[in-house]
């Protein structure tokens, strides 16, 4: 089967939005109104980096993560309209970021992937990077703790279940099928340092411990550090 | 080696099928998230009750060749045997630690 390429100039991005729980359906509806191709939404839990709240164990906050697929040329427009309505540019209103997609396939309709050749060479010059880490259940919090203690942002923990193919039957029983996925967004420079730190702490180089994936982020809005807004990263 | 993260979005209950298909062509593991979607074809329900179909998102990290194979295999599996389709989105991975 020959791989198709996307029509010239067509590219798609994945828009990820993290907001407090309860806003998800509103954003899904809004995305549908705007004519988004596909959208889905799932629950996660975030952490607040506050020592007092941590002491009384109130530093968890329920979050919702929304993934929307948007055409590349409408990316800015969509972000602006979402900003207008949901005010990601103010602190504590949620964050939104886009990741360029390198391929897309509708299972029922298309017979093969449409590769997006513009973003195929993996670029390393993005300002921000999304770290996506899949670990066993219960380790998600220690990942967030490790990253906060090292002075980075916290992360959002998502419940998941997993499977591995290359296991023998005896080992299969030991591997926890319940997993936690941690999503973290940070400057590309610190992402590399944190990735190295996490690999050491969690022994990711050994099999069946977890997977860490770094994905380039082209545009962000709503990221704050020490009360001031970080400059919006332009592509 | 260039890796890609596949987000395979399928209706609830079909994730295991997608993973079996992916494992057959060389994927080495998968993670499943449970989500709800905003389907265009789903009608707006009565009395402004919105229908949000439940979905499962399967995350698979694979090389380009395996990614292509996974997509073809899943397409072949889902073409005949299911009523509702899904979609696959492929994200480029900068770096991978495993």
Q: Within an 8 Å CB–CB cutoff, is residue A201 touching chain B?
A: no
Cβ–Cβ < 8 Å for B36, B53:
yes
Average pLDDT over residues A107-127: 65
Cβ–Cβ < 8 Å for B74, B20:
no
Distances (CA, A) of A171 to A135, A149, B26: 17, 33, 20
pLDDT for A208 beyond 50: yes
A82, two tokens: 């979402």
Cβ–Cβ < 8 Å for A38, A87:
no
- What integer pLDDT is reported at residue A233 of this predicted model? 36
- What integer pLDDT is reported at residue A178 of this predicted model? 84
Residue of B92, B93, B96 to mutate for A, most A C-beta atoms under 10 A: B92
Residue B16 backbone phi and psi in degrees, to 5: -60, -35
Convert the pLDDT of each residue in A156-193 to its tens digit.
999 988 776 555 555 555 555 788 999 988 888 888 88
Q: Do the bridges between strand A114-115 and strand A4-5 make them parallel or antiparallel, or are there none, so unpaired?
A: parallel
CA of A109 to nearest chain B CA: how many angstroms apart? Answer: 8
**Please, which pLDDT band fits residue A64 given cuts at 50, 70 and 90?**
very high
**Please, which pLDDT band fits residue A149 given cuts at 50, 70 and 90?**
confident
Average pLDDT over residues A105-118: 72
Strand partners, A229: A224
A41, two tokens: 């939404």
Q: Which of B6, B33, B57 is nearest to A160 (CA)?
A: B33
- What integer pLDDT is reported at residue A209 of this predicted model? 79
Nearest CA in chain B to A198: B97
Inter-chain touch B92–A120, beta carbons under 8 Å: yes
Q: What is the DSSP string of A10-24?
A: --EEEEEEEEETT-H
Average pLDDT over residues A136-163: 84
pLDDT for A65 beyond 90: yes
- What integer pLDDT is reported at residue A117 of this predicted model? 60
Inter-chain touch A163–B92, beta carbons under 8 Å: no
- What integer pLDDT is reported at residue A2 of this predicted model? 41
A187, two tokens: 């400057």
Q: Do the bridges between strand B95-97 and strand A228-229 make them parallel or antiparallel, or are there none, so unpaired?
A: unpaired
**Please, which pLDDT band fits residue A232 given cuts at 50, 70 and 90?**
very low
Strand partners, B25: none
A9, two tokens: 């100039």
**pLDDT tens for the 98 residues of chain B, in order:** 688 899 999 888 888 888 888 888 888 888 899 888 876 655 555 666 667 788 899 999 888 889 888 888 888 888 777 777 788 898 888 877 76
Cβ–Cβ < 8 Å for A220, A81:
no
Average pLDDT over residues A25-31: 86
Rounded to the nearest integer, the mean pLDDT of chain A is 78
pLDDT for A229 beyond 60: no
Inter-chain touch A165–B89, beta carbons under 8 Å: no
Q: Do the bridges between strand A95-100 and strand A219-221 make them parallel or antiparallel, or are there none, so unpaired?
A: antiparallel
Inter-chain touch B89–A29, beta carbons under 8 Å: no
Q: What is the ipTM of this complex?
A: 0.85
Residue of B21, B75, B84 to mutate for A, most A C-beta atoms under 10 A: B75
pTM of this prediction?
A: 0.84
Question: What are the chain B neighbours of A31 within 8 Å (beta carbons)?
Answer: 38
- Strands, E, within chain B: which ranges? 3-11, 29-37, 54-63, 87-93, 95-97
- Percent of chain A with pLDDT strictly greater than 70: 80
Instruction: Provide the chain A residues 89-108 that lie in CB contact (below 8 A) with chain B.
Output: 99-108
């Amino acid at each position: 089967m020959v791989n198709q390429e996307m029509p010239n100039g067509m590219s798609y991005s994945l828009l990820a939005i993290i907001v407090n729980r309860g806003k998800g359906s509103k954003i899904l509806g809004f995305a549908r109104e705007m004519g988004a191709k596909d959208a889905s939404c799932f629950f996660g839990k975030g952490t607040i980096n506050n020592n007092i709240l941590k002491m009384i164990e109130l530093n968890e906050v329920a979050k919702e993560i929304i993934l929307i697929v948007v055409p590349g040329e409408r990316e800015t427009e969509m972000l602006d309209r979402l900003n207008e309505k949901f005010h990601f540019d103010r602190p504590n209103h949620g964050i939104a970021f886009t990741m360029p997609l390198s391929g897309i396939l509708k299972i029922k309709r298309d017979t093969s992937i449409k590769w997006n050749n513009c973003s195929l060479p993996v670029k390393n010059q993005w300002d921000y990077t999304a770290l996506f880490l899949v670990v066993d259940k219960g380790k998600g919090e220690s990942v967030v703790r490790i990253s906060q203690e090292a002075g980075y942002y916290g992360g959002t923990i998502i419940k998941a279940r997993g499977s591995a193919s290359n296991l023998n039957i005896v080992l299969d029983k030991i591997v926890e099928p319940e997993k936690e996925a941690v999503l973290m967004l940070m400057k590309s420079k610190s992402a590399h340092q944190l990735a190295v730190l996490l690999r050491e702490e969690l022994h990711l180089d050994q099999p069946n411990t977890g997977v860490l994936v770094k994905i380039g982020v082209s545009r962000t809005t709503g990221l704050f550090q020490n009360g001031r807004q970080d400059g919006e990263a332009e592509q | 080696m260039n890796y890609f993260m596949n987000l395979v979005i399928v209706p609830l209950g079909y994730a295991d099928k997608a993973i079996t298909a992916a494992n057959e062509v060389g994927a080495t593991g998968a993670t499943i998230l449970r989500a709800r979607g905003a389907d265009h074809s789903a009608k707006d329900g009565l009395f402004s009750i919105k229908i949000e179909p439940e979905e499962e998102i399967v995350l698979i990290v694979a090389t380009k060749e395996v990614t292509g194979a996974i997509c073809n295999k899943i397409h072949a599996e889902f073409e005949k045997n299911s009523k509702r389709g899904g979609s696959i989105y492929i994200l480029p991975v900068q770096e991978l630690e495993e």
